[in-house]
């Protein structure tokens, strides 16, 4: 186990094989190191998963690692200035601040915000799951409520697991209906595959069809057979009308799924009045097109419907997410080859374990937020509540915030409100590698290791991979010896929140406790591969600590694992690590039976939580659409808000522009290259104009993740290419009713020459 325990393959010069941790494509890289510096990064052609695919971001891991602005030591703020301090001093300051808040206001005054890189960082993702319960923080916020919360709600209801996401079996489908996703930029989301666009080309090359539903003719839509230029926020109406066509034309054909599904008749009743004609003007699509889309989906031998962020971050996010899988079931394509399937990763994610509070099924609205009364959904309220919970005095006011790999001043709706509220905190601690728009408000910043200084495994993302596989990367550079790993920081913070003094915390003991708890939970699960085994016998066999021990456990108890000695031929982390190009266990296979976790043991196609919102959708059909609405976009050379400090990614053409259709531009008096003032009821900004017929008329578009012009940051390059923050325009109270997820697509705006 030596190679893995040391968790580094040394800093020797040469070429190192590694997986890119930046997005769900998980590309294999070859990293050349010369005299301790990364000099070149190329695709690893031998990687069994990505087979030589790479995007421009993957080549910049060296720039990220060597970025002089990247924090290497903790920072403590005194007045307006930050000072580098030792780790002991930093933790002593954290203790002073956190304990002060708890003494004065109680634990309820402390909260945390969890950001996106957590999902791509094994040390963070696993130990955030330890931090939350161990710290006793009851209410937390995350980027999840500006992302996939609707999908979490829909999967919790349909399948009994909030992370059980069916994904399109790209390599075998004959027909792909994709809504609100642009893998041309994002490289796939809740759908892990390297070179998604190449795989779409392959669908077409084998005679299949790719349809992209998006208010913008994206790079993905350009490569598809058909672009469906929908009006933002109306996907649920489109999909419900397609369901209606299936019922009306006798095309409902769930096949063997019928015997495992409840609620098909209820769905029929819900869709009855949503004919293509009834929704056409709302969706901005001809009724014949909607009817044809339904027929083509039903006629295709193997088809899959896939919706992503455009279907979540919008007015009817949960309905749209639910209907994606309703269509997959009704056409008999769920859990079938070439349809929408569930992956079977080498190391099953521990996130798949049902939280104990939901063991008897998912319930919602167990509590409400203090200020606006937003109902809790899956343990969270909208992240836009955070600003008012900090700014509004009274019992329960938030006085301390711990941000973990997040930049909500840019990424959360009502961005300006949060920016104004954060200075009111008595204590703000940030686990973050840069001094940016959010962390500049912190009292203490605790940096994690760089992506090349830590081992890497995508513990959650393999759960929605298009093949059953796994890949492990040891750390490339040895971290500085005195420096704690992020998982150790999280455990230390959790103990301090329980009242311990920084110097007294025994991180190893806490880690052992966490591990023992997980082993006991899994051993008690009758469906696990170690069901009924003595947890003590398992823990005694573990040779590592921290995230590596958990990864080893997931592999060994996984579908190909050695089950701690029961199958000596089976996999362990050591065996996986011996395969730097990864292990591919083959294409997806049906596995609904082993995964379904609903109380009934069946797919719940019409859960009682859903129908009330269908009534809201019906009311939407009566609403007239006037004026312009704003949507978001991504670009392959950006990564949310945090990679604009990499010069090679931001130079060239300005990418933070307002896209507007020529007809709209003419009407409001704008020209290409000019300057536009964009205003909503939340705020306003001025952005450069890019006139393009890639927009659907009536819809304008800004990228998200920009706005690096704030003072007090340490982002030399990003501040030169500041751009504007689109979330200044997003009203925080606009949320999808069922999930509380933010609506950042389809925001009414007024546009005029600046
Ligand atoms: N208008 C609009 N808003 C959106 C979206 C949209 O499409 N439109 N998209 C939403 C989505 S999908 C998401 S996921 C959120 C993202 O929201 P956030 O997660 O809040 O934002 P990021 O920009 O990903 O910020 C990541 C932070 O993590 C830090 N970081 C990077 N790597 C590491 C690391 O290894 N360790 C630690 N400790 N810190 C690290 C960075 O410095 C940065 O501060 O934004 C959401 N906001
Ligand atoms: N290069 C790069 N890759 C990334 C990221 C990044 O910032 N940069 N972010 C990562 C993260 S955190 C995430 S969550 C994923 C997201 O991955 P994707 O879901 O693929 O996200 P986008 O590329 O923003 O594509 C969303 C599309 O939805 C469309 N859209 C907007 N409103 C609507 C609507 O109402 N209906 C429909 N049908 N479409 C709509 C937009 O025009 C846009 O083309 O990407 C990840 N990958
Ligand atoms: S697509 Fe780009 S950013 Fe994503 S994993 Fe591959 S190289 Fe990294
Ligand atoms: Mo995201």
Q: Is residue 435 pLDDT above 80, yes or no?
A: yes
| Per-residue pLDDT reduced to its tens digit, 294-306 | 999 999 999 999 9
Q: Residue 361: what pLDDT?
A: 86
| Per-residue pLDDT reduced to its tens digit, 482-532 | 899 999 999 999 999 999 999 999 999 999 999 999 999 999 999 999 999
Q: What is the CATH number of the domain that holds 191?
A: 3.40.228.10
Cα–ligand 4 centroid distance for 12 (angstroms): 35
Given pLDDT bands bounded at 50, 70 and 90, which one contains residue 12? Answer: confident
Q: Is residue 735 pLDDT above 60, yes or no?
A: yes
Q: Is the domain of 50 the same as that of 88? A: no
- Tell me which residue has its CA closest to atom 35 in ligand 2: 232
Q: Is residue 61 part of a domain?
A: yes
Q: Residue 197: what pLDDT?
A: 98
| Per-residue pLDDT reduced to its tens digit, 244-303 | 999 999 999 999 999 999 999 999 999 999 999 999 999 999 999 999 999 999 999 999
Q: Is the domain of 39 the same as that of 118? A: no
Mean pLDDT of 704-712: 97
User: Among residues 53, 8, 6, which one has the least CA distance to residue 27?
Assistant: 53
Q: What is the DSSP string of 7-66?
A: TB--S-SEEEEEE--SSTT--EEEEEEETTEEEEEEE-TT-TTTTT---GGGGGHHHHHH
Mean pLDDT of 637-642: 97
Cα–ligand 4 centroid distance for 190 (angstroms): 9
Q: Residue 482: what pLDDT?
A: 85
Q: Alpha carbon of 423 to those of 91, 390, 420, 439: distances in Å? A: 21, 10, 7, 11
Q: Is residue 747 part of a domain?
A: yes
Host domain of residue 310: 149-342+600-615
Q: How many domains does the chain have?
A: 5
User: Is residue 356 within 8 Å of residue 350, measured between CB atoms?
Assistant: no
Q: Is the domain of 676 the same as that of 702? A: yes
User: Is residue 707 within 8 Å of residue 697, measured between CB atoms?
Assistant: no
Q: Residue 7: what pLDDT?
A: 38
Beta strands, E only, 299-399? 303-307, 340-341
Q: Is residue 2 pLDDT above 70, yes or no?
A: no
Mean pLDDT of 177-206: 98
Q: Alpha carbon of 267 to those of 257, 270, 574, 610: distances in Å? A: 15, 5, 49, 10
User: Is residue 118 within 8 Å of residue 542, measured between CB atoms?
Assistant: no
User: Among residues 179, 243, 177, 173, which one has the least CA distance to residue 213?
Assistant: 179
How far is Cα 265 from Cα 568, in angstroms, rounded to an integer?
49
Task: Tell me the H-state helices in 211-316.
Answer: 219-222, 235-248, 264-271, 276-283, 287-299, 309-312
HSE-up of residue 115 (Cα within 13 Å, Cβ side): 23
How far is Cα 493 from Cα 489, in angstroms, rounded to an integer?
6
How far is Cα 386 from Cα 732, in angstroms, rounded to an integer?
10
Q: Is 22 in the pocket of ligand 3 (CB under 6 A)?
A: yes
What the block records as the tokens of 406 is 């997040």
Pairing of strands 427-431, 37-43: unpaired
Q: Residue 1: what pLDDT?
A: 34
User: Among residues 645, 697, 654, which one has the least CA distance to residue 673?
Assistant: 654
Residue 659: nearest ligand to its CA? 2
Q: What is the CATH number of the domain that holds 727?
A: 2.40.40.20
Q: Is residue 560 part of a domain?
A: yes
Answer with the one of 24, 48, 66 that is the final residue of a domain. 66
Cα–ligand 4 centroid distance for 221 (angstroms): 20
Q: Is residue 58 pLDDT above 90, yes or no?
A: yes
- The residue with tokens 């836009």 is 384
Q: Is residue 595 part of a domain?
A: no
Mean pLDDT of 294-321: 98
Q: Is residue 535 pLDDT above 90, yes or no?
A: yes
| Per-residue pLDDT reduced to its tens digit, 591-619 | 999 999 999 999 999 999 998 899 999 99
Given pLDDT bands bounded at 50, 70 and 90, which one contains residue 357? Answer: confident
How far is Cα 30 from Cα 611, in angstroms, rounded to an integer?
51
Question: What DSSP element (H or E) covers 96?
Answer: helix 87-105
Q: Is the domain of 320 the same as that of 438? A: no
Q: Is the domain of 316 the same as that of 461? A: no
Between helix 235-248 and helix 264-271 the angle, nearest 10°, is: 110
User: Among residues 155, 151, 309, 328, which one has the least CA distance to residue 233?
Assistant: 309
Q: Alpha carbon of 536 to those of 99, 519, 532, 560: distances in Å? A: 35, 9, 12, 22
Kindly state the DSSP code that residue 493 receives in the 8-state scheme: H
Q: Is residue 306 part of a domain?
A: yes
Q: Is the domain of 377 the same as that of 415? A: yes
If one residue of 641, 649, 713 were mutated to test the ligand 1 pocket, choosing by the most ligand atoms within 8 A of its CB, it would be 641
How far is Cα 619 from Cα 642, in angstroms, rounded to an integer?
39
Q: Is 64 in the pocket of ligand 3 (CB under 6 A)?
A: no
- Tell me which residue has its CA closest to atom 2 in ligand 3: 55
Neighbours of 654 (CB within 10 A): 12
Mean pLDDT of 235-241: 98
User: Is residue 288 within 8 Å of residue 311, measured between CB atoms?
Assistant: no
Q: Is the domain of 243 the same as that of 337? A: yes
Given pLDDT bands bounded at 50, 70 and 90, which one contains residue 8? Answer: very low
User: Among residues 203, 252, 235, which one has the least CA distance to residue 314?
Assistant: 235
Task: List residues near ligand 2 (CB under 6 A).
Answer: 23, 116, 147, 179-183, 185-187, 189, 213-216, 218, 230, 232-233, 235, 308-311, 314, 631-634, 636, 638-640, 705, 745-746
Q: Is residue 358 part of a domain?
A: no
How far is Cα 50 from Cα 458, in angstroms, rounded to an integer?
14
How far is Cα 339 from Cα 302, in angstroms, rounded to an integer?
6
Q: Is the domain of 562 the same as that of 671? A: no
Q: Is 679 helix (H, G, I), strand (E, B) or coil?
A: strand
- The residue with tokens 């954060």 is 422
How far is Cα 105 from Cα 424, in angstroms, rounded to an integer?
14
Pairing of strands 684-691, 658-660: parallel
If one residue of 185, 219, 224, 629 were mutated to test the ligand 2 pocket, choosing by the most ligand atoms within 8 A of its CB, it would be 185
Q: Is residue 454 part of a domain?
A: yes
Task: List residues near ligand 1 (CB under 6 A).
Answer: 115-117, 121, 143, 146-147, 309, 313, 405-408, 411, 431-434, 436, 438, 448, 486, 632, 640-642, 704-705, 726-727, 730, 744
Q: Is residue 344 pLDDT above 60, yes or no?
A: yes
Mean pLDDT of 554-571: 98
Q: Is 58 in the pocket of ligand 3 (CB under 6 A)?
A: yes
Residue 189: nearest ligand to its CA? 2
Q: Is residue 10 pLDDT above 60, yes or no?
A: no
User: Among residues 232, 233, 173, 228, which one has the least CA distance to residue 205?
Assistant: 173
What integer best gives the mean pLDDT of the chain?
96
Cα–ligand 2 centroid distance for 76 (angstroms): 36
Q: What is the CATH number of the domain that holds 28?
A: 2.20.25.90
Q: Is residue 743 pLDDT above 50, yes or no?
A: yes
Pairing of strands 658-660, 340-341: unpaired
Q: Is the domain of 35 the same as that of 55? A: yes
Q: Residue 11: what pLDDT?
A: 59
How far is Cα 357 from Cα 111, in angstroms, rounded to an integer?
20
Q: Is the domain of 476 the same as that of 384? A: yes
| Per-residue pLDDT reduced to its tens digit, 368-399 | 999 999 999 999 999 999 999 999 999 999 99
Q: Is 527 helix (H, G, I), strand (E, B) or coil?
A: coil
Q: What is the CATH number of the domain that holds 392?
A: 3.40.50.740
Q: Is the domain of 217 the same as that of 311? A: yes
If one residue of 118, 178, 180 were mutated to test the ligand 2 pocket, choosing by the most ligand atoms within 8 A of its CB, it would be 180
Q: Is the domain of 649 the same as that of 668? A: yes
Phi then psi dihedrals of residue 220, to 5 deg: -70, -45
Q: Residue 246: what pLDDT?
A: 98
Given pLDDT bands bounded at 50, 70 and 90, which one contains residue 659? Answer: very high
How far is Cα 159 from Cα 592, in angstroms, rounded to an integer?
9
Q: Is residue 449 part of a domain?
A: yes
| Per-residue pLDDT reduced to its tens digit, 106-128 | 999 999 999 999 999 989 999 99
């Amino acid at each position: 186990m030596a190679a893995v325990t040391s968790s580094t393959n040394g800093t020797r010069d040469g070429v190192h094989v590694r997986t890119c941790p930046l997005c769900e494509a998980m590309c294999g890289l070859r990293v050349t190191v010369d005299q301790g510096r990364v000099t070149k990064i190329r695709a690893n052609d031998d990687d069994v998963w990505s087979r030589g695919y790479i995007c421009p971001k993957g080549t910049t891991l060296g720039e990220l690692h060597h970025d002089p602005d990247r924090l290497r030591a903790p920072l403590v703020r005194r007045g307006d200035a930050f000072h580098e301090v030792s780790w002991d001093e930093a933790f002593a300051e954290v203790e002073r601040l956190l304990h002060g808040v708890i003494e004065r206001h109680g634990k309820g005054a402390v909260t945390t915000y969890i950001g996106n890189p957590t999902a791509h960082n094994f040390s963070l993702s696993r130990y955030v799951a330890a931090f939350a319960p161990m710290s006793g923080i009851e209410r937390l916020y995350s980027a999840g409520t500006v992302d996939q919360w609707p999908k979490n709600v829909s999967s919790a209801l349909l399948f009994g697991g909030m992370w059980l996401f069916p994904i399109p079996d790209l390599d075998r489908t004959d027909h792909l209906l994709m809504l609100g996703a642009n893998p041309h930029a994002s490289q796939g989301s809740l759908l892990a595959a390297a070179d998604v666009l190449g795989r779409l080309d392959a669908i077409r090359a084998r005679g299949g069809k790719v349809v992209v539903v998006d208010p913008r003719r994206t790079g993905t839509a350009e490569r598809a057979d058909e672009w469906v230029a929908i009006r933002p926020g109306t996907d649920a109406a489109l999909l419900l009308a397609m369901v209606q066509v299936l019922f009306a034309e006798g095309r409902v054909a769930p096949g063997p799924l019928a015997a495992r599904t409840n609620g098909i008749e209820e769905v029929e009743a819900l869709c009855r009045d949503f004919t293509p004609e009834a929704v056409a003007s709302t969706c901005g699509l001809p009724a014949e097109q909607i009817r044809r889309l339904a027929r083509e989906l039903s006629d295709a031998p193997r088809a899959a419907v896939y919706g992503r962020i455009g279907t979540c971050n919008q007015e009817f996010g949960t309905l749209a997410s639910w209907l994606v899988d309703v269509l997959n079931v009704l056409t008999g394509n769920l859990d079938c080859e070439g349809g929408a399937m569930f992956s079977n990763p080498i190391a099953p994610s521990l996130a798949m374990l049902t939280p104990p509070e939901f063991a008897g099924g998912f319930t919602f609205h167990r509590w409400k937020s203090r200020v606006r009364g937003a109902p809790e959904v899956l343990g969270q309220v909208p992240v836009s509540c955070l600003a008012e919970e900090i700014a509004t005095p009274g019992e329960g006011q938030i006085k301390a915030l711990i941000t973990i790999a997040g930049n909500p001043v840019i990424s959360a709706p009502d961005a300006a409100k949060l920016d104004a509220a954060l200075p009111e905190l008595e204590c703000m601690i940030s686990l973050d590698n840069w001094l940016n728009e959010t962390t500049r408000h912190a009292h203490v910043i605790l940096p994690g290791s760089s992506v090349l200084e830590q081992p890497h495994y995508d513990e959650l993302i393999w759960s929605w991979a298009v093949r059953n596989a796994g890949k492990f990367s040891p750390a490339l550079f040895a971290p500085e010896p005195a420096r704690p790993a992020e998982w150790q920081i999280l455990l230390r913070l959790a103990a301090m929140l329980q009242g311990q003094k920084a110097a007294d915390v025994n991180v190893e003991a806490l880690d052992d406790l966490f591990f023992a708890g997980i082993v006991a939970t899994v051993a008690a699960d009758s469906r696990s591969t170690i069901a009924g085994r003595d947890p003590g016998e398992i823990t005694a066999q573990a040779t590592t600590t921290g995230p590596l021990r958990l990864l080893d456990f997931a592999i060994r108890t996984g579908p190909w694992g050695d089950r701690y000695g029961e199958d000596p031929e089976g996999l362990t982390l050591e065996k996986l690590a011996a395969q730097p190009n990864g292990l591919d266990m083959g294409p997806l296979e049906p596995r609904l039976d082993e995964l379904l976790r609903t109380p009934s043991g069946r797919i719940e196609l019409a859960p009682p939580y859903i129908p009330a919102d269908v009534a809201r959708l019906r009311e939407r059909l009566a609403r007239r659409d006037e004026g312009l609405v704003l949507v978001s976009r991504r670009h392959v050379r950006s990564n949310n808000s945090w990679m604009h400090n990499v010069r090679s990614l931001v130079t060239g053409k300005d990418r933070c522009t307002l896209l507007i259709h020529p007809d709209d531009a003419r009407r409001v008096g704008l020209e290409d290259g000019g300057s536009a003032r964009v205003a909503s009821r939340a705020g306003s900004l001025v952005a450069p104009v890019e006139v393009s017929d890639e927009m659907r008329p009536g819809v304008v578009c800004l990228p998200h993740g920009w706005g690096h012009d704030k003072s007090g940051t340490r982002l030399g390059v990003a501040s030169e290419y500041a751009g504007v923050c689109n979330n200044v325009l997003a009203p925080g109270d606009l949320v999808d009713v069922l999930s509380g997820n933010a609506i950042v697509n389809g925001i009414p705006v007024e546009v005029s020459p600046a």
